[in-house]
Every structure is written in C-alpha cells, then in structure tokens.
C-alpha cells in the first residue's frame, strides 16, 4: 500500500467534520467554457472546460452524486490544474449541469457505458497530450467499473486514473448512508434526486413508477428501489447495487490508477476497502486514516483544499513520458 502524507488538522477531528467543513471552503470558480455534446441515444450532456492549451496533459473529472463542475472538489482540482497550465474538463452526468436532460434515464453509480462514451469522444478530439481521468465518489465507482471492464483497452485512451472516495460496494455504502448521522447527507441528496425524478415522470407522462414511494423515500435504498433501479433497467435496488459496484472488477484494471479512500469516510465504511495484497499491480491503494468524504482539508484554521489536487498532480506526473512535455504549436484543440 502506498504510504500517505495526509494528516487532518488537529482542530478538525472526526470523519463528519472532515466531510462537512470542506464544503464551506469553496475555492474560486474556474473560468469554464461550456460545450454541449449530443449523445448517441439523442440526449445531451454539458462539459465544462477550463483551458485550451496545446501540448499539455488533460484531466477529465467525473463528479459525484448530484455534483457538478461547481462542487468544492471540482473547483479545487480544476483550479489547480489551470494554475499549473494543464487542461481540464468536467463532463456532467445527465441532468447535473443545471439543465434537465431529454430522456427518462438519468445517471447511476455503475454508468460505465457513459464513462466510456465520454472518454472515447474526448480521445478522438484531443490529440495534444496524455489524458488522465479522475472520478470522485459515485464518479469514482463508475470510472473504476469502466477500467475493470475494459482492461487493456482502456490504455489506448488513458495514461493514468484516480478514484477518490469511491464507494466500491454499493450495498454496504448505501446501507451506511441510512444510519445515524449519515441520514443528514442522505436527506441532502434526496432533496434534488426526488425533485428531478418526479419532474421526469411528469414531463414524460410515465405511469410505470410509484410516485408516492419516490416522494416518501427517506433512504437511498428506498429511492433507488423506486426510481434509479427501474429507470435504468435493474431488477430492484439490490440488483442495481450488486451489478453497479466496482469492487468485483478491480482485478481487471490495467491502467495505472490511484485508489484514494480515507478510513474515516462516513460514506465508505472501512470494510469496503480491499486488502492491498489482493489488488492488481496497476492499482495504487492509499488509505489515510483521516480525510472524511472528499474532504482532505489541510492547514491552520479555516484550512484549504490544496492537498488533493497536489496529490493527483504528483501521481499523474510520474506517469508522463518526456515527449509529453513538449509543447506543440501547430495543432488546435477541438472541444466540440
């Protein structure tokens, strides 16, 4: 297992505080350029780009549940890579960019097909330098699932990857989010998830969903069973959680990947974390004792969010070949 230099501030104890307080440390919003992409199934997504520089690496960031390019971690990560003059893009899962998508389907934790389509599209149009992918929480699970399914094939698209606070086993994580103080996080997620689901049902005049069950859902188990699972073709919540979990597929990963999880993450109980000696050599596990869920705050009060972006940069730089540092001035980047 990779040793971690992350230490939480002494003034910020415990996984819950280390999860919640970083939400108040919102970095400046990067100067994004939004691009709209039509999907193969006649829907659309939005992708927010930070820069358009030739000859430098590109970092693709897949956000977490109900996240976006405005999430605290996205601002911190994209702001950092902009500062070091790399390129970056945050593709939004369907319905997460502030605009409802066209279709009844939304997004889910195992949406590896969508991850693959996004990365393939980017790779076809971005030939200026190596591409790295980062997945946060839900996005991390979906990215790991894609990498495990594709194996060697994913190396044609990505130089490296990182999954941060990925739940890995959705049943354990989902049930944990229904217990104790974790219900505060669940209520926050459900406020927007239920509104979006009910709007979709109304717009599409869908009659196959139990509106009362969705409206009354108090846990992710109840919501996923009433909406997420059936709308995406799963046979109930347990079938969804089982088939969408990335942990059984980690052995198939062939892209050099950082697996970063705090052991006090309220969303990801430590029993989810795989023993390092069971992982393939392409996975670098890093499980610091603290950090919360996508927190990793550092510094004296009130703290800053620099540690995670710097850790990602260090991991990716070790996967660069010398030729990738040469700047080409003859090609343009086509974001469309």
Most confident of 126-130, 218-222, 317-321: 218-222
Where are the CATH 3.40.50.1820 domain residues in the chain? 15-169+245-317
265 is catalytic: yes
Average pLDDT for residues 325-334, to the nearest whole number?
Answer: 44
Above 50 in pLDDT, residue 270?
yes
Q: For the residues 308-317, what does the mean pLDDT come to?
A: 98
Instruction: Specify the pLDDT at position 131.
Output: 97
pLDDT for position 328: 39
Q: Are 134 and 312 in contact (CB under 8 A)?
A: yes
Per-residue pLDDT, 323? 46
Are the C-beta atoms of residues 49 and 86 closer than 8 Å to each other?
Answer: no
- The total of other beta-carbon atoms located within 10 Å of residue 59's CB is 26
**Reduced to 3 DSSP states, what percent helix, strand and coil does the chain have, rounded to the nearest 5?**
40, 15, 45
Query: Is position 137 annotated as part of the catalytic site?
Result: yes
Task: Specify the pLDDT at position 298.
Answer: 97
The mean per-residue pLDDT over the stretch 140-157 comes to 98
Annotated active-site residue 277? The verdict is no
Tokens 């130089």 belong to 159
The pLDDT of 123-132, averaged and rounded, is 90
Q: For all residues of the chain together, what is the average pLDDT?
A: 94
pLDDT band at 126 (very low <50, low <70, confident <90, very high): confident
Q: pLDDT class for 235, splitting at 50, 70, 90?
A: very high
Q: What is the mean pLDDT of residues 94-110?
A: 97
190 three-state secondary structure: helix
Burial of 318 (0-12, 13-18, 19+ CB in 10 A): exposed
Q: In what order do the strands lie in the sheet with 87-91?
A: 33-38, 44-49, 87-91, 58-62, 131-136, 160-164, 257-260, 283-286
Cβ count near 83 (within 10 Å): 12
- The one catalytic residue in 137, 173, 245, 256 is 137
With 90 as the cut, is the pLDDT of residue 51 above it? no
CATH of domain 15-169+245-317: 3.40.50.1820
Residue of 48, 224, 225, 265 marked active site: 265
Query: In this structure, what token pair is assigned to residue 102?
Result: 């066209």
């Amino acid at each position: 297992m990779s040793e971690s230099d992350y230490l939480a501030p002494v003034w910020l104890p415990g996984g819950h505080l280390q999860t919640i307080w970083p939400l108040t440390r919102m970095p400046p919003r990067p100067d994004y350029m939004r691009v709209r992409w039509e999907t193969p199934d006649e829907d659309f997504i939005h992708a927010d780009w930070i820069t358009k520089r030739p000859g430098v690496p590109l970092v693709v960031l897949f956000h977490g549940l109900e996240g976006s390019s405005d999430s605290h971690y996205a601002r911190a990560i994209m702001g950092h890579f902009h500062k070091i003059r790399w390129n970056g893009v945050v593709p939004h899962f369907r319905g997460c960019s502030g605009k409802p998508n066209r279709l009844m389907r939304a997004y889910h934790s195992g949406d590896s097909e969508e991850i693959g389509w996004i990365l393939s599209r980017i790779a076809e149009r971005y030939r200026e330098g190596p591409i790295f992918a980062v997945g946060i929480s839900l996005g991390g699970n979906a990215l790991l699932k894609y990498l495990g399914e594709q194996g060697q094939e994913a190396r044609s698209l990505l130089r490296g990857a990182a999954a941060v606070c990925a739940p890995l086993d959705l049943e354990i994580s989902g049930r944990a989010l229904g217990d104790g103080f974790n219900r505060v996080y669940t209520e926050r997620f459900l406020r927007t998830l239920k509104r979006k689901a009910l709007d979709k049902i109304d717009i599409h005049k869908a009659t196959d969903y139990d509106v009362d069950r969705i409206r009354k859902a108090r846990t992710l188990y109840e919501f996923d069973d009433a909406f997420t699972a059936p709308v995406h073709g799963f046979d109930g919540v347990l079938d969804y959680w089982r088939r969408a979990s990335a942990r059984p597929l980690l052995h198939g990963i062939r892209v050099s990947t950082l697996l970063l999880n705090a052991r006090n993450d309220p969303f990801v109980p430590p029993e989810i974390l795989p023993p390092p000696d069971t992982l393939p050599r392409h996975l670098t596990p890093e499980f610091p004792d603290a950090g919360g869920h996508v927190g990793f705050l550092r510094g004296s009060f009130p703290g800053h969010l620099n540690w995670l972006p710097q850790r990602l940069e260090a991991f990716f730089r070790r996967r660069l070949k010398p030729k990738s540092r040469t700047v080409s001035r003859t090609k343009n980047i086509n974001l469309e």
